[in-house]
Amino acid sequence: MAHTWDPDRYLTYADERGRPFVDLVARVDAPSPRRVVDLGCGPGNLTALLARRWPEASVTGLDSSPQMIEAARHDVPGIDFDVADLREWRPAEPVDVLVSNATLQWVPGHLDLLPSLVAAVAPAGWLAFQVPGNFDEPSHTIRRDLAALPAYAEHTAGADHPASHDPGDYYDALAALGCTVDAWETTYLHVLGGPDPVFTWVSATGARPTLQALPDDLRPRFEAEFKERLAAAYPTRPDGTVLLPFRRVFVVARVPR
Protein backbone atom coordinates (compact mmCIF):
# COMPACT_ATOMS: atom_id res chain seq x y z
CA MET A 1 0.00 0.00 0.00
CA ALA A 2 1.56 3.30 -1.10
CA HIS A 3 1.87 6.12 1.39
CA THR A 4 3.11 9.68 1.11
CA TRP A 5 5.47 11.76 3.22
CA ASP A 6 5.04 15.18 4.79
CA PRO A 7 8.45 16.94 4.87
CA ASP A 8 7.27 19.64 7.28
CA ARG A 9 5.98 17.12 9.82
CA TYR A 10 9.10 15.01 9.43
CA LEU A 11 11.26 18.04 10.26
CA THR A 12 9.38 18.77 13.50
CA TYR A 13 12.18 17.04 15.42
CA ALA A 14 14.92 17.68 12.87
CA ASP A 15 17.70 18.04 15.46
CA GLU A 16 16.82 14.78 17.20
CA ARG A 17 16.48 12.91 13.91
CA GLY A 18 19.77 14.37 12.71
CA ARG A 19 21.94 13.20 15.61
CA PRO A 20 22.26 9.59 14.38
CA PHE A 21 23.19 10.82 10.90
CA VAL A 22 26.03 12.91 12.34
CA ASP A 23 27.25 10.00 14.47
CA LEU A 24 27.14 7.68 11.45
CA VAL A 25 29.04 9.93 9.06
CA ALA A 26 31.67 10.69 11.71
CA ARG A 27 32.83 7.06 11.42
CA VAL A 28 33.35 7.24 7.65
CA ASP A 29 37.08 7.77 7.21
CA ALA A 30 37.04 8.99 3.62
CA PRO A 31 39.40 11.97 3.24
CA SER A 32 38.52 13.18 -0.26
CA PRO A 33 35.78 11.21 -2.03
CA ARG A 34 34.77 12.33 -5.51
CA ARG A 35 31.22 10.94 -5.59
CA VAL A 36 28.92 10.85 -2.53
CA VAL A 37 25.33 9.62 -2.60
CA ASP A 38 22.67 9.96 0.10
CA LEU A 39 20.22 7.14 -0.61
CA GLY A 40 16.90 7.99 1.06
CA CYS A 41 17.76 11.65 1.53
CA GLY A 42 14.34 12.83 2.71
CA PRO A 43 14.02 16.64 2.67
CA GLY A 44 17.76 17.06 2.10
CA ASN A 45 18.65 18.87 5.32
CA LEU A 46 21.11 16.12 6.26
CA THR A 47 22.44 15.71 2.72
CA ALA A 48 23.67 19.29 3.10
CA LEU A 49 25.97 18.08 5.89
CA LEU A 50 27.63 15.70 3.42
CA ALA A 51 28.37 18.62 1.11
CA ARG A 52 29.92 20.51 4.01
CA ARG A 53 31.96 17.49 5.10
CA TRP A 54 33.29 16.92 1.57
CA PRO A 55 33.03 20.26 -0.26
CA GLU A 56 35.03 19.04 -3.28
CA ALA A 57 32.79 16.00 -3.84
CA SER A 58 29.85 15.65 -6.19
CA VAL A 59 26.96 15.04 -3.76
CA THR A 60 23.62 13.56 -4.87
CA GLY A 61 20.47 12.97 -2.82
CA LEU A 62 17.97 10.32 -3.87
CA ASP A 63 14.58 9.45 -2.40
CA SER A 64 11.51 7.52 -3.55
CA SER A 65 9.18 10.27 -2.26
CA PRO A 66 8.44 13.05 -4.76
CA GLN A 67 7.26 15.21 -1.85
CA MET A 68 10.63 14.89 -0.11
CA ILE A 69 12.60 15.57 -3.29
CA GLU A 70 10.49 18.64 -4.04
CA ALA A 71 11.23 19.99 -0.55
CA ALA A 72 14.93 19.20 -0.89
CA ARG A 73 15.23 20.98 -4.25
CA HIS A 74 13.49 24.02 -2.80
CA ASP A 75 15.34 24.23 0.52
CA VAL A 76 18.84 22.87 -0.20
CA PRO A 77 20.50 24.61 -3.16
CA GLY A 78 23.70 23.40 -4.76
CA ILE A 79 22.99 19.65 -4.48
CA ASP A 80 21.49 17.37 -7.11
CA PHE A 81 18.31 15.67 -5.90
CA ASP A 82 16.27 13.11 -7.79
CA VAL A 83 13.49 10.57 -7.28
CA ALA A 84 14.77 6.98 -7.20
CA ASP A 85 13.83 3.65 -5.65
CA LEU A 86 16.82 2.18 -3.84
CA ARG A 87 15.70 -1.33 -4.80
CA GLU A 88 16.27 -0.50 -8.46
CA TRP A 89 18.90 2.24 -8.30
CA ARG A 90 22.25 1.58 -9.97
CA PRO A 91 24.81 4.38 -10.36
CA ALA A 92 26.29 5.16 -13.75
CA GLU A 93 29.69 4.63 -12.12
CA PRO A 94 30.65 3.42 -8.64
CA VAL A 95 30.44 5.96 -5.83
CA ASP A 96 33.07 6.57 -3.16
CA VAL A 97 30.69 7.05 -0.23
CA LEU A 98 27.16 5.67 -0.12
CA VAL A 99 25.08 6.78 2.87
CA SER A 100 21.59 5.58 3.73
CA ASN A 101 20.03 7.05 6.85
CA ALA A 102 16.83 5.61 8.38
CA THR A 103 15.68 4.20 5.04
CA LEU A 104 16.43 0.48 4.72
CA GLN A 105 13.92 -0.38 7.45
CA TRP A 106 11.16 0.40 4.93
CA VAL A 107 12.39 -2.27 2.50
CA PRO A 108 11.25 -5.82 3.33
CA GLY A 109 14.13 -8.27 3.04
CA HIS A 110 16.69 -5.50 2.79
CA LEU A 111 19.54 -7.82 3.80
CA ASP A 112 19.19 -9.20 0.28
CA LEU A 113 19.88 -5.71 -1.11
CA LEU A 114 23.28 -5.39 0.54
CA PRO A 115 25.20 -7.09 -2.30
CA SER A 116 23.84 -4.59 -4.84
CA LEU A 117 24.62 -1.67 -2.52
CA VAL A 118 28.18 -2.91 -2.04
CA ALA A 119 28.49 -3.34 -5.80
CA ALA A 120 27.52 0.33 -6.22
CA VAL A 121 30.56 1.42 -4.19
CA ALA A 122 34.02 1.84 -5.68
CA PRO A 123 36.85 -0.41 -4.44
CA ALA A 124 38.02 0.77 -1.00
CA GLY A 125 34.94 2.99 -0.79
CA TRP A 126 32.43 3.24 2.04
CA LEU A 127 28.87 2.08 2.67
CA ALA A 128 27.29 3.60 5.78
CA PHE A 129 23.75 3.22 7.03
CA GLN A 130 21.66 3.35 10.16
CA VAL A 131 18.21 1.98 10.88
CA PRO A 132 15.87 2.25 13.86
CA GLY A 133 16.00 -0.73 16.17
CA ASN A 134 13.13 0.19 18.49
CA PHE A 135 10.27 -1.81 17.00
CA ASP A 136 9.52 -3.59 20.27
CA GLU A 137 9.03 -0.30 22.09
CA PRO A 138 5.54 1.02 23.00
CA SER A 139 5.70 3.61 20.22
CA HIS A 140 5.39 0.70 17.79
CA THR A 141 3.64 -2.04 19.77
CA ILE A 142 0.74 0.26 20.67
CA ARG A 143 0.22 1.11 17.01
CA ARG A 144 0.29 -2.56 16.01
CA ASP A 145 -2.15 -3.55 18.76
CA LEU A 146 -4.59 -0.80 17.82
CA ALA A 147 -4.31 -1.49 14.10
CA ALA A 148 -5.18 -5.15 14.73
CA LEU A 149 -8.49 -4.33 16.42
CA PRO A 150 -11.57 -5.39 14.40
CA ALA A 151 -12.64 -1.80 13.83
CA TYR A 152 -9.38 -1.01 12.01
CA ALA A 153 -7.81 -4.26 10.84
CA GLU A 154 -9.54 -4.48 7.46
CA HIS A 155 -8.07 -1.10 6.54
CA THR A 156 -4.60 -1.38 8.07
CA ALA A 157 -3.73 -4.97 7.19
CA GLY A 158 -1.82 -3.98 4.06
CA ALA A 159 -0.10 -0.89 5.44
CA ASP A 160 3.68 -0.71 5.23
CA HIS A 161 5.56 -1.20 8.47
CA PRO A 162 9.27 -0.78 9.14
CA ALA A 163 11.59 -3.52 10.42
CA SER A 164 15.32 -3.98 10.93
CA HIS A 165 17.96 -6.43 12.16
CA ASP A 166 20.54 -6.53 14.94
CA PRO A 167 24.09 -5.24 14.33
CA GLY A 168 25.50 -8.78 14.16
CA ASP A 169 23.17 -9.68 11.29
CA TYR A 170 24.43 -6.77 9.21
CA TYR A 171 28.02 -7.57 10.18
CA ASP A 172 27.71 -11.17 8.99
CA ALA A 173 26.05 -10.20 5.70
CA LEU A 174 28.66 -7.58 4.82
CA ALA A 175 31.67 -9.52 6.08
CA ALA A 176 30.60 -12.36 3.76
CA LEU A 177 30.93 -9.86 0.91
CA GLY A 178 34.52 -9.13 1.87
CA CYS A 179 33.87 -5.82 3.64
CA THR A 180 35.59 -4.58 6.76
CA VAL A 181 32.65 -3.85 9.03
CA ASP A 182 32.06 -1.60 12.03
CA ALA A 183 28.58 -2.26 13.47
CA TRP A 184 27.14 -0.91 16.70
CA GLU A 185 23.98 0.32 18.38
CA THR A 186 23.08 3.38 20.41
CA THR A 187 19.98 4.20 22.43
CA TYR A 188 19.27 7.93 22.39
CA LEU A 189 17.12 9.53 25.06
CA HIS A 190 15.22 12.23 23.22
CA VAL A 191 13.73 15.00 25.36
CA LEU A 192 10.49 16.08 23.69
CA GLY A 193 8.06 18.88 24.39
CA GLY A 194 4.71 20.13 23.19
CA PRO A 195 1.33 18.40 23.04
CA ASP A 196 1.37 14.67 22.27
CA PRO A 197 5.06 14.73 21.31
CA VAL A 198 5.51 10.97 20.81
CA PHE A 199 2.47 10.87 18.54
CA THR A 200 3.89 13.81 16.59
CA TRP A 201 7.16 11.89 16.22
CA VAL A 202 5.73 8.55 15.10
CA SER A 203 2.98 10.02 12.93
CA ALA A 204 5.69 11.51 10.72
CA THR A 205 7.48 8.17 10.25
CA GLY A 206 6.63 4.66 11.46
CA ALA A 207 2.92 5.22 12.06
CA ARG A 208 2.31 7.23 8.91
CA PRO A 209 1.31 4.33 6.60
CA THR A 210 -1.16 3.03 9.19
CA LEU A 211 -2.75 6.44 9.66
CA GLN A 212 -3.03 7.01 5.92
CA ALA A 213 -4.63 3.59 5.42
CA LEU A 214 -7.57 4.51 7.65
CA PRO A 215 -10.67 6.13 6.15
CA ASP A 216 -11.43 9.69 7.18
CA ASP A 217 -14.28 8.70 9.44
CA LEU A 218 -12.14 6.27 11.47
CA ARG A 219 -8.80 8.09 11.63
CA PRO A 220 -9.74 10.64 14.35
CA ARG A 221 -10.94 7.87 16.66
CA PHE A 222 -7.77 5.85 16.07
CA GLU A 223 -5.57 8.88 16.64
CA ALA A 224 -7.33 9.80 19.87
CA GLU A 225 -6.85 6.33 21.33
CA PHE A 226 -3.29 6.16 20.04
CA LYS A 227 -2.45 9.47 21.74
CA GLU A 228 -4.05 8.34 25.00
CA ARG A 229 -2.08 5.09 25.10
CA LEU A 230 1.16 6.80 24.14
CA ALA A 231 0.68 9.39 26.89
CA ALA A 232 0.34 6.57 29.42
CA ALA A 233 3.44 4.78 28.10
CA TYR A 234 5.50 7.98 27.91
CA PRO A 235 4.34 10.14 30.83
CA THR A 236 5.07 13.81 31.14
CA ARG A 237 7.93 14.50 33.54
CA PRO A 238 7.77 17.07 36.35
CA ASP A 239 9.54 19.59 34.11
CA GLY A 240 6.89 19.20 31.41
CA THR A 241 9.00 17.11 29.02
CA VAL A 242 8.55 13.59 27.68
CA LEU A 243 11.46 11.15 27.33
CA LEU A 244 11.58 8.93 24.24
CA PRO A 245 14.25 6.20 24.32
CA PHE A 246 15.21 5.37 20.74
CA ARG A 247 17.54 2.51 19.82
CA ARG A 248 19.34 2.75 16.49
CA VAL A 249 21.61 0.33 14.67
CA PHE A 250 24.65 1.62 12.76
CA VAL A 251 26.87 0.02 10.13
CA VAL A 252 29.96 1.42 8.41
CA ALA A 253 31.53 -0.95 5.89
CA ARG A 254 34.75 -0.53 3.89
CA VAL A 255 34.39 -2.22 0.53
CA PRO A 256 37.37 -4.42 -0.45
CA ARG A 257 39.93 -3.09 -2.91
Neighbours of 228 (CB within 10 A): 13
Cβ proximity of 57 and 69 under 8 Å:
no
Task: Let me know if residue 1 belongs to a domain.
Answer: no
- Percent of the chain at pLDDT exceeding 90: 84
The domain of 87 spans 7-254
* Residue 2 located in a structural domain: no
Query: Residue 5: pLDDT above 50?
Result: no
Q: Where are the alpha helices (DSSP H) in the chain?
A: 7-10, 14-25, 47-53, 66-75, 114-119, 138-147, 150-156, 167-175, 197-203, 208-213, 219-233
CA 58 to chain centre: 23
Arithmetic mean of pLDDT, 193-198? 93
Asked whether the predicted pLDDT for residue 11 surpasses 60, the reply is no
Q: Is 112 a domain residue? A: yes
- Is the pTM for the entire model greater than 0.85? yes
pLDDT, residue 18, reads 85
In a domain, 91, yes or no: yes
| Confidence at 161, pLDDT banded by 50, 70, 90 | confident
Mean pLDDT of 108-115: 96
Given pLDDT bands bounded at 50, 70 and 90, which one contains residue 16?
Answer: confident
Interatomic CA distance for residues 42 and 106, integer angstroms: 13
CATH of the domain at 15: 3.40.50.150
- Domain membership flag for residue 166: yes
Half-sphere exposure of 115 (CA within 13 A, CB side): 4
**Count of domains in the chain?**
1
